[in-house]
A and B are shown apart, each in its own frame.
Chain A
């Protein structure tokens, strides 16, 4: 795999307040990289700094080619709300900036805005504006896509379609750098996870590595038994009860199941959740 972007010791501060501290990572081609962090962690600042929208204090950002704008497509968090330009016009205008753009009809079909081609951009719904932003990012047929909270404002079907498109783009060799609050959307597609926490990258690796680092597993079930029954299990870290629904967190799933086995007849809907990215991140942050 070839490296398409290398970020080394990137620092950014604003009015003496540090926002990004010593950030280093690299992106490889044909992969999806998810950048995760709570609100205000600096995800958008990191993207803006990489894309030279705001100047960095120190560090290096190297794309595989000097004229990186020719090979990147960007879907910013804020939609384009330009008035007096129609959907059809903005797609063609964006195509006009690139040497080898994607065909207009391909982009229009991908946006799903065929019936709104002659609508002014500011008259689109927020979901439609998001879809338009996505195809505008694709207009130049980029090698690297930066997507900042891409599915915010999209309905469920549009979100599903969007992630299907991302999977296809990944298959076609594109590198996709994405931030999202919807962690469940990222876990099926991300090859590499970056966790931005307290101004710095606290994790950089695969989902599998993150699971191993986190180590904790969530076990859920329904039971009429008393909470005292489960409180006595030696292997559990925490136990919560909501009506007849129980949630156990353990770092030794085999031992916990074995301790639960005498009560299995009184347990229903047992679920062992070790794959939820959401719970892994929470566990990871708790562990830290």
Chain B
């Protein structure tokens, strides 16, 4: 256990504490978007509408921050482990793949937790959002746990091994996912057929659950089950890709 905790500590330092990209992209970018869309762009709306928009958009940007962390940071961290020979190094040590990945997933969840807390504090302080502390805690925890399926996507992308391909895949997934599931603009602005598709995505369902905490309504079970199904699908895909990877070995 002590050894596992030490591994977590080193992973925390290298992936979060000493990683400028994490602060710039996973935290600063959603904050900048949030300020832009709540302080500068809105005009001609009532104070009440603005308050609602500020709360909704805060949730969107918290999920967006977690999306960036889960896919881009996860894929790039694992790619870096590959190109710096760390993956080969680890595979020669008497630890299981599960131990390696579980310690990383724990750090990526922590990373999403930190991003969510920071973005929510920004919203509370700058836009004077008033929410019961219990609701904020529920939203933050839902976002950090609910984005685990997205971390699995990040892990799968890292198996592409080539930096240019990893970059292409992360961009092809992250930004369409953010737009189609209504994280940047309200989903109602999209064509109907695209809305229907967007509403199936885990990021949309996550914001649906968050809004139940925001509006003090009952838990949306459909959204909850949807995220569980995504988790199941991505877990199976990950196991399949991992099995195929075994046929090719771990060297570059």
The reply on B89 being an interface residue by CB < 8 A is: yes
The reply on B246 being an interface residue by CB < 8 A is: yes
List the B residue with the shortest CB-CB distance to A78. B85
Q: Among A51, A93, A98, A140, which residue has its beta carbon within 8 angstroms of that of B7? A: A93
Assess whether B92 is in contact with A48, with CB atoms less than 8 Å apart: no
Assess whether B6 is in contact with A81, with CB atoms less than 8 Å apart: no
CA distance A52 to B250 in the complex (A): 9
Assess whether B84 is in contact with A98, with CB atoms less than 8 Å apart: no
Q: Among A51, A89, A92, which residue has its beta carbon within 8 angstroms of that of B92? A: A51
CA distance A53 to B89 in the complex (A): 10
Assess whether A55 is in contact with B251, with CB atoms less than 8 Å apart: no
Assess whether A84 is in contact with B13, with CB atoms less than 8 Å apart: yes
The reply on A225 being an interface residue by CB < 8 A is: no
Chain A contacts with B in 75-106, Cβ cutoff 8 A: 76, 78-85, 89, 92-94, 96-99
Assess whether B95 is in contact with A97, with CB atoms less than 8 Å apart: yes
Interface residue total, chain B, C-beta cutoff 8 A: 26
Query: Main SS of the interface on chain A?
Result: loop
| Chain B contacts for A69, CB-based, 8 A | 92-94
The reply on A175 being an interface residue by CB < 8 A is: no
CA distance A140 to B93 in the complex (A): 9
B100 to chain A: closest CB distance in Å?
Answer: 10
Assess whether A53 is in contact with B85, with CB atoms less than 8 Å apart: no
Query: With contacts A76-B88, A78-B85, A93-B6 known, is A84 near B19, CB below 8 A?
Result: yes
The reply on B10 being an interface residue by CB < 8 A is: yes
The reply on A178 being an interface residue by CB < 8 A is: no
CA distance A48 to B86 in the complex (A): 15
The reply on A74 being an interface residue by CB < 8 A is: yes
CA distance A55 to B247 in the complex (A): 6
| Chain B contacts for A51, CB-based, 8 A | 92
CA distance A173 to B94 in the complex (A): 21
The reply on A111 being an interface residue by CB < 8 A is: no
Assess whether A84 is in contact with B18, with CB atoms less than 8 Å apart: yes
Query: With contacts A78-B85, A80-B85 known, is A48 near B249, CB below 8 A?
Result: yes
Assess whether A74 is in contact with B92, with CB atoms less than 8 Å apart: yes
A214 to chain B: closest CB distance in Å?
Answer: 34
Q: Among A72, A85, A92, which residue has its beta carbon within 8 angstroms of that of B6? A: A92
Query: With contacts A80-B84, A84-B13, A89-B13 known, is A96 near B249, CB below 8 A?
Result: no
Assess whether B94 is in contact with A76, with CB atoms less than 8 Å apart: no
CA distance A97 to B2 in the complex (A): 11
The reply on B46 being an interface residue by CB < 8 A is: no
| Chain A contacts for B212, CB-based, 8 A | none
CA distance A80 to B82 in the complex (A): 10
The reply on A70 being an interface residue by CB < 8 A is: yes
Query: With contacts A84-B14, A85-B10, A89-B10 known, is A53 near B88, CB below 8 A?
Result: yes
Query: With contacts A53-B251, A54-B249, A55-B246 known, is A96 near B7, CB below 8 A?
Result: yes
B194 to chain A: closest CB distance in Å?
Answer: 40
List the A residue with the shortest CB-CB distance to B247. A55
Query: With contacts A81-B84, A82-B86, A84-B19 known, is A72 near B251, CB below 8 A?
Result: no
CA distance A136 to B10 in the complex (A): 16
The reply on A67 being an interface residue by CB < 8 A is: yes
List the B residue with the shortest CB-CB distance to A121. B84
CA distance A94 to B92 in the complex (A): 11
Other A-B pairs beyond A52-B249, A53-B91, 13, CB < 8 Å = A54-B251, A55-B247, A55-B249, A78-B88, A79-B85, A82-B85, A82-B86, A84-B13, A84-B19, A94-B93, A96-B6, A97-B95, A122-B84
Closest 10 CB pairs of A and B: A54-B249, A96-B3, A84-B14, A69-B94, A97-B93, A84-B18, A82-B84, A70-B94, A81-B84, A96-B6
9 A-B pairs with CB atoms under 8 Å apart are A54-B251, A76-B89, A80-B86, A83-B80, A89-B13, A94-B93, A96-B6, A122-B84, A140-B93
